[in-house]
Amino acid sequence: MIQPTHSRRSILKAAPALIGGGAVLASIQKAQTSGAKPPLMAYVGTFSSPLHDVLPSQVDLPPGNGRGIHLFEVNRKTGELSPRGVLELGTSPSCLAFNSAGTHIYSANETDKVKGNDAGTISSFSINRADGQLNLLNTVSSGGAGPTYVSVHPSGKFLLVANYFGGSVAVLPILSDGSLGPASDVKKGTGKVGPTKATNAPPGSFAFSGHDIPHAHMIETDPAGRFVLSADLGLDQILIWNFDDRTGTLSANNPPSFSLPPGDGPRHFSFHPNKAWLYSLQEEGSNIVLFDYDSVKGQLKPRQTLSSLPPGFAGSNFTSEIMVSGDGKFVYAANRLHDGIATFSVAENGTLAFVGEEWTRGDYPRSFNFDPTGNFLYSCNQRADNITTFRIDRKSGKLTFTGQYTPVGNPSIIVFLDLGKAG
């Protein structure tokens, strides 16, 4: 088990008291006396100044203007974000995931490294349900270099990790107190790496990344928690694993993967609420593939491929995030370099049609997320050092900028926690 350094521990203990905790408590007390809802909190993971040297291959990562995990209170009516503290971390906690009870949060520390080898680290934090502040529980090895994605298995007993620069996926047991144990399984990607030029690249695109070695970019279970899917950008594959929720181990499904067109680079995917459709976003191909998903066999069958960009686009682009709206009527996809979020309507058979796009008002949208109501979308504009807020038209799916810019250094992800719901 990897323990934090003394200096980092000191910073972590002191950071929650810097600002914000009192403001959140005041909001909760006001809510209790007025009958209003308790605060809705947002947690923003950032690229922050690394405590260790950045890996040589991390060409996409800046030195880090973030300060760690930034906390905000969300105005439920306007979507405005009000600062409520910073948990100082110099490890680039670029991905965050809650447990289902909302009592713990886990961070993938993308620029942190275990001393003596190339493995990265994952940290666990308990959440003070009174004010939303965080307390470090422990930090363990991620099972590979450059962890870029974490998700919690529906059982609540395991954390799934994708190590981008190590090309591996790992399973970490979640202990009874919410802390993490050593990896119960690590699987390293193997196979033929795809070409640097994507099969479906936009005309005139010079965008290429990750086709030098295997690069695990996302890992998540299917809706039932029976199978685990992981996207490997370098191998151009979505790998499918059987998951043993007693031992926390992965075994290859039959077939073990689905191959996307060479060079297209699957990055993220999102299941439709009906659990039967999966939408995969390709980083270098700048396209979306609709799959029918067989939940019994854990198999994918492609049915539609379309561009993530507006008709007629030519030039360089990297995609980043894809999400299905909570009502299942729309799919949203973020395009970096082009710096827009595209909206697609979902037909009765799951196929997509381009509705429109909205400029993010910032450079390089690393990811986006919906607030719990589905009324607002927040874009984490990594190179613009801001988060921009958009109101969602629930009928048309279109986005309208609210005029709200929230300054955050190198934001990577935003996740939400309602303190009014039982933990």
Residue-wise pLDDT for 372-397, tens only, equals 999 999 999 999 999 999 999 999 99
pLDDT confidence of residue 117: 81
Is residue 30 very low, low, confident or very high in pLDDT (cuts 50, 70, 90)?
A: low
In a domain? residue 374: no
Distances (CA, A) of 45 to 88, 106, 138, 371, 379: 11, 11, 17, 16, 13
Q: What range does the domain containing 283 cover?
A: 189-359
Percent of the chain whose pLDDT exceeds 90: 83
Q: What is the pLDDT of residues 296-328, one digit of tens each?
A: 999 999 999 999 999 999 999 999 999 999 999
Who's near 348: CB < 8 A, 6+ residues apart?
none
Between CA 134 and CA 242 the distance in angstroms is: 33
Instruction: Let me know: does 122 contact 112? Beta carbons within 8 Å.
Output: no
Instruction: Let me know: does 342 contact 332? Beta carbons within 8 Å.
Output: yes
In a domain? residue 368: no
Is the Cα torsion angle 133, 134, 135, 137 positive or negative in sign?
positive
354 plus 423 within the same structural domain = no
Instruction: Let me know: does 263 contact 199? Beta carbons within 8 Å.
Output: yes
Is the Cα torsion angle 168, 266, 252, 223 positive or negative in sign?
positive
Model pTM score: 0.92
Percent of the chain whose pLDDT exceeds 70: 88
399 plus 355 within the same structural domain = no
Is residue 6 very low, low, confident or very high in pLDDT (cuts 50, 70, 90)?
A: very low
The answer to whether residue 10 scores a pLDDT higher than 70 is no
In a domain? residue 233: yes
Is residue 57 very low, low, confident or very high in pLDDT (cuts 50, 70, 90)?
A: very low
In a domain? residue 169: no
Is residue 4 very low, low, confident or very high in pLDDT (cuts 50, 70, 90)?
A: very low
Strand-pair partners of 302: 291
Measured CA angle at 319 (ends 314, 322), to 5 deg = 130
Please give the sequence-ordered ranges of beta strands (E in DSSP) within 75-226, or none if there are none.
Answer: 81-88, 93-98, 104-109, 121-127, 134-141, 147-152, 158-163, 168-173, 185-188, 216-221
What φ, ψ does residue 28 adopt, rounded to 5°?
Answer: -65, -45
Q: What is the pLDDT of residues 273-300, one digit of tens each?
A: 999 999 999 999 999 999 999 999 999 9
- As for how many domains the chain has, the answer is 2
| Assigned token pair, 357 | 């796009």
405 plus 350 within the same structural domain = no
310 plus 231 within the same structural domain = yes
Amino acid of residue 177: D
- Kindly report the average pLDDT of the chain as a whole number: 91
315 plus 408 within the same structural domain = no
Q: What is the pLDDT of residues 198-218, one digit of tens each?
A: 999 999 998 887 899 999 999
- Over residues 251-258, mean pLDDT: 98
pLDDT confidence of residue 33: 52
249 plus 303 within the same structural domain = yes
The answer to whether residue 74 scores a pLDDT higher than 50 is yes
Of 334, 359, 384, which residue sits at a domain end?
359
Q: What is the pLDDT of residues 400-411, one digit of tens each?
A: 999 999 999 999
| Assigned token pair, 67 | 């300060």
In a domain? residue 87: yes
5 plus 130 within the same structural domain = yes
Instruction: Let me know: does 211 contact 265? Beta carbons within 8 Å.
Output: yes
122 plus 51 within the same structural domain = yes
| Assigned token pair, 206 | 């010079």
298 plus 220 within the same structural domain = yes
Lowest mean pLDDT of 54-63, 140-149, 255-264, 351-360, name the range.
Answer: 54-63
pLDDT confidence of residue 17: 38
The answer to whether residue 12 scores a pLDDT higher than 90 is no
- Over residues 57-62, mean pLDDT: 50
**CATH assignment at residue 232:** 2.130.10.10
Is the Cα torsion angle 198, 199, 203, 204 positive or negative in sign?
positive
The answer to whether residue 347 scores a pLDDT higher than 70 is yes
Measured CA angle at 161 (ends 330, 362), to 5 deg = 50
In a domain? residue 388: no
245 plus 291 within the same structural domain = yes
CA 264 vs. chain centroid, Å, equals 20
Instruction: Let me know: does 357 contact 310? Beta carbons within 8 Å.
Output: yes
Between CA 193 and CA 204 the distance in angstroms is: 23
pLDDT confidence of residue 118: 82
Helix (H) / strand (E) element for 192: namely none
Is residue 35 very low, low, confident or very high in pLDDT (cuts 50, 70, 90)?
A: low
Who's near 121: CB < 8 A, 6+ residues apart?
2, 91, 109, 112, 113, 114, 139, 140, 141, 142, 147
Is residue 97 very low, low, confident or very high in pLDDT (cuts 50, 70, 90)?
A: very high
269 plus 201 within the same structural domain = yes
In a domain? residue 161: no
pLDDT confidence of residue 21: 59
Establish whether the linkage from the previous residue to 261 is cis, with ω within 30° of 0.
no
Is residue 73 very low, low, confident or very high in pLDDT (cuts 50, 70, 90)?
A: very high
pLDDT confidence of residue 24: 63
In a domain? residue 141: yes
Of 359, 380, 413, which residue sits at a domain end?
359
205 plus 93 within the same structural domain = no
